[in-house]
Amino acid sequence: MVSILASVFLLGILIFFHELGHFLAAKAVGVTPKIFSIGYGKGRWKITRGRTTYQITAFPLGGFVQFYGDDITEAPENIQKGDFFSVGPWRRILIAFGGPAFSVTLGVFVLGMLIALGWQPVSNTVEIAENTEAYEAGLRTGDSIMAVNGIKTDSYEKVALEVAFAPEDKLLLATQRGDMEVDLLPRKTGSIRTIPGMVPLASAHFLIAAADMSFPALQKGLADWKGKRAEWTAGIKQGDRIVSANGLPVSRVEDLRGILQSGKKSTESFMPLVNEGYVLLEIQRKNSHFAPDTSNLYLAMAPVKSVKVIHLKNIRDLQTGAVIPERSISALDGAIFSRIYVNNKNYNNFNDLAAAIGNSKEQTLRIGTVQYTATVELADKKMIGMSFQEGFIPRPANLPRDPVSLVSRSFNETWFAAKSTLLGLYRIIEGKLSFNQSVSGPVKIMAVAAKSVESGWDTYWYLLAQISIVLGIMNLLPIPVLDGGHIIFYLVEAVYKPLSPRIIGATVRAGMAVLLTFGVYVIGKDIYDVFVRGVLF
């Protein structure tokens, strides 16, 4: 429920601030708004104050501000004070520019608040796999990429951007050890470039993705262990992180599996029930959005005898060449195994999927929209009724947060979002970036927003800031229906003469037809991706 409300709020706040920019700019230049609407169509909830009606429609996937006297064909003698065309073109340009300006301002403000609260981007320090192009060029784990082709990169996101859109097949990387020339992965149609063998420096982790409450678990009334009473299974939450099992540290799912299979325990693990086959887990819960909570809870569970799993090793993304950590998938992982395609067919039943995959030395699989090669093994494993989300926690950067740096970093992050958008748009037009994989509409934005809450509210607010900035930039494109198109009309009028209503009407209708077609396609694609294929990217 929280995720759903968060996604609705994100879309609503983006629309509200954008339209508020138009609304306030109009008020400032002497134009009276007629309708302030969240959503298109007839207002379901509305209230009138003065000459302006404020409304929310049944389908609030957009918004608009309508002004009195905004019909360009209206005879001049009928134009009244406060009408849209009662003011000159420069003032109308300010009205059109107000929406994008407010969208970008919202993004800058949210970024500034995040930075002030301690948010940091991913560090530009990298991890390098041996026997790869990056390793052969001289890069080593622990190197920090300070610049790419002379452009400063103080975070891994900026490194990835400059690498992805580099015009040449070679890069000049400036590291703290000196300059190095590195070959790029050859560009494929519909893809971006990467440096094979290079990933951000990170520590392994795995989080609890789901817990099956029907699995055997230890009842209440356990003896204290390390001064903590072991919690009942109702205390498990999605996103909890297991940091030790039977007193032994774990950082990967494989570490936990090894303890489950072997029954190992630390010498200080004196809890009697551990000797009876129970597993004592130390769980860290992230209550703060910027640092993990230091108070851990303890949980004792009894593993079931065995569960069939599909174990994937040597996983490699065929598009980017990235190596993915090995993982096991069980019947608990419905969100994953239902998205696995074998020979372009997927299975909702885990046993059917296991039979289709079989044991194979190496096999090509598709998970969602991404193609992987992996070594596949079927095995029986002891489990504790949980499924995990395994991955890596990238090392955060350590950029300054003093008042001057806060302002400069906010604007740098804004420029980063703008640059990413414009470069991505250019590559789509070039045909070197996939339109389907790069463009999202309101449905997918809401789905991504709901998903981002699971990673923490800092991720959610950063997403909101980025989308708000992108919304402002995209609305400035010189397309007749968008704000940028209106600005072009009024600019021509200001420096030359007004375009005829016939020309403006024809271009607006053409632009509207293109935009509606585009909108229907994108929304349909989003619905199919989110609700049928179950993928967000």
Q: Which residues are catalytic?
A: 19
Only one residue has tokens 């309708």, namely 35
Q: How many CA atoms lie within 13 A of 293 on its CB side?
A: 15
CA distance 244 to 259: 10
Contact between 381 and 257 (Cβ < 8 Å):
yes
Beta bridge partners of 364: 373
Beta bridge partners of 249: 244
∠ Cα 433 438 441 (to 5°): 150
∠ Cα 10 15 21 (to 5°): 130
Closest alpha carbon to 68 in 31, 37, 41? 31
| Tokens describing residue 103 | 């969208």
Beta bridge partners of 376: 312, 360
CA distance 216 to 304: 7
Contact between 366 and 351 (Cβ < 8 Å):
no
Q: At what angle do helices 2-29 and 442-452 cross, to 10 degrees?
A: 120
What is the torsional sign of CA 171, 174, 176, 178?
Answer: positive
Report which DSSP code applies to 232.
P
Amino acid letter for position 79: I
Contact between 193 and 183 (Cβ < 8 Å):
no
3-state secondary structure of 441: coil
CA distance 350 to 357: 11
| Tokens describing residue 238 | 């999605």
| Tokens describing residue 359 | 């044991």
| Tokens describing residue 357 | 């995959």
CA distance 38 to 57: 6
Contact between 187 and 432 (Cβ < 8 Å):
yes
CA distance 84 to 71: 8
